[in-house]
């Protein structure tokens, strides 16, 4: 029943030449007669030959596989970055192995062991939320596996990174709210051991300082920034005797939670309270009012991460020097933060 797979050998036999000749012909080796190449390609076609990538990988030491680690594949931002990465590396002949850490360090470690065993040619990763030790990523470096971080990166780790300028995104967003006349701007913040959340908080503070608005600790609420956290944060803020007139959220999901509570309490957005999110998830434009958000150009981030990886692989062991790319965020202003 099971058809035997056609191999290089079969082509060689059929043409009465050696496997090496076939191999060279197929890979379009420069000094190989066009005649042989044509004959080999024709025969390969005829026999429906499919090169065995596994064998090639073993011999050449290149698996043409790139591991991608995200916390969860179904978070819109990550799914877009994944899309971008796959598009880019695929054009260069690489395939993507997709893995999910669920923000668990244990899983992150397991994944890296698996990827190492699979001999991927490189790893592109966004850190898990709880990842504060990096021994497993050090292992990749030790084994000389190219590594690129995106979005949730480790500072000064000696690898290429791509992130959005979170500081600037936050600074601009809060600046915009101040321009709209807001004076008491709350911030739903992420955990501060993550660079990106730290930077957004810094941008928030800097924007206030620029306008001589005093920083008030009671207006900062830290959480995981899921929708539910947004709801809870908003409820907490509503209990203050002096309510905020705007809320800058470090995540669109949290922003939706805030909007929901606002609706449930008949608080008019944007008139009584403005809302600003982060990431520009597609759904922010579907809502009414649409939620203003900081666009992170997620697909471009994916493309960039892919390109950094390809460059890294190419220069491996030669003149590699990491590049740290910071994408410029842009504000997408919608009805939640502006009276049109």
Partner DNA sequence: CTGAAAGCGCTTACAG
Binding footprint of its own copies on the chain (CB under 8 A): 1-3, 5, 50-55, 57-58, 63-65, 68, 72-76, 79-80, 82-83, 86-87, 90, 95-100, 113-114, 116-119, 142-144, 256, 259-260, 263, 282-283, 286-288, 299, 317
8-39: b (≥16 Cβ within 10 Å) or e: bebbbebbebeeebbbbbbeeeeebeeebbeb
Total site size for DNA, rule CB under 7 A: 28
C-alpha to C-alpha distance for 153 and 176, rounded to whole angstroms: 27
In this structure, what token pair is assigned to residue 96? Answer: 């993507």
Q: Does 19 sit near DNA (CB under 7 A)? A: yes
With a CB cutoff of 8 Å and minimum separation 6, the contacts of 171 are: 203, 204, 206, 207
Q: Does 118 sit near DNA (CB under 7 A)? A: no
Residue 70 or 201: which CB sits closer to its own copies?
70
Start-to-end C-alpha separation, the chain: 69
Tokens 């649409």 belong to residue: 290
Residue 203 or 302: which CB sits closer to its own copies?
302
Residue 157: phi, psi to the nearest 5? Answer: -100, -5
137-149: b (≥16 Cβ within 10 Å) or e: beebeeeebbbbb
Interacting partner of 74 out of DNA, its own copies, none (Cβ under 5 to 8 A depending on kind): its own copies
**Whole-number minimum distance, CB 14 to DNA, in Å?**
13
Interacting partner of 80 out of its own copies, DNA, none (Cβ under 5 to 8 A depending on kind): its own copies
**Whole-number minimum distance, CB 292 to DNA, in Å?**
52
Interacting partner of 23 out of its own copies, DNA, none (Cβ under 5 to 8 A depending on kind): DNA
In what side-by-side order are the strands of the sheet with 292-295?
220-222, 185-189, 246-249, 274-279, 292-295, 330-332
Interacting partner of 268 out of DNA, its own copies, none (Cβ under 5 to 8 A depending on kind): none
**Whole-number minimum distance, CB 144 to its own copies, in Å?**
5
Classified as helix, coil or strand, 180 is coil
Q: 53-72: which residues touch DNA (CB under 7 A)?
A: 55-56, 58-60
Q: Does 8 sit near DNA (CB under 7 A)? A: yes
């Amino acid at each position: 029943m099971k058809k035997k797979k056609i191999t290089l050998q079969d082509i060689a036999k059929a043409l009465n030449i050696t496997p090496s000749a076939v191999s060279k012909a197929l890979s379009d080796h420069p000094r190989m007669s066009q005649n042989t190449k044509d004959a080999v390609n024709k025969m390969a076609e005829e026999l429906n030959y499919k090169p065995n990538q596994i064998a090639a990988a073993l011999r050449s030491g290149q698996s043409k596989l790139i591991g991608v680690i995200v916390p969860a594949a179904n978070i819109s931002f990550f799914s877009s970055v994944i899309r971008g990465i796959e598009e880019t590396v695929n054009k260069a002949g690489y395939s993507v192995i997709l893995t999910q850490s669920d923000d668990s360090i244990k899983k992150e470690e397991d994944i890296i062991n698996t990827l190492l065993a699979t001999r991927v040619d490189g790893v592109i990763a966004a850190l898990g939320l709880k990842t504060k030790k990096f021994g497993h990523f050090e292992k990749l470096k030790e084994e000389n596996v190219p590594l690129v971080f995106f979005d949730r990166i480790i500072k000064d780790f000696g690898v290429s990174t791509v992130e959005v300028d979170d500081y600037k995104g936050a600074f601009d967003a809060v600046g915009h709210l101040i321009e709209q006349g807001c004076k008491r701007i709350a911030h739903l913040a992420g955990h501060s051991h993550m660079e990106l959340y730290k930077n957004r908080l810094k941008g928030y503070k800097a924007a206030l300082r620029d306008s001589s608005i005093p920083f008030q600790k009671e207006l900062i609420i830290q959480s995981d920034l899921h929708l539910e956290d947004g709801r809870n944060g908003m409820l907490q803020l509503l209990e203050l005797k002096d309510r905020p007139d705007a809320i800058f959220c470090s995540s669109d999901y949290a922003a939706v939670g805030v909007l929901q509570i606002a609706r449930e309490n008949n608080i008019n957005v944007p008139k009584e309270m403005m809302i600003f999110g982060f990431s520009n998830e597609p759904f922010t434009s579907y809502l009414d009012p649409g939620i203003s958000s900081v666009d992170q150009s997620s697909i471009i981030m994916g493309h960039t991460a892919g390109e950094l990886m390809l460059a890294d692989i190419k220069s491996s062991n030669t003149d590699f020097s990491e590049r740290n790319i910071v994408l410029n965020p842009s504000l997408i202003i919608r009805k939640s933060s502006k009276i049109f």
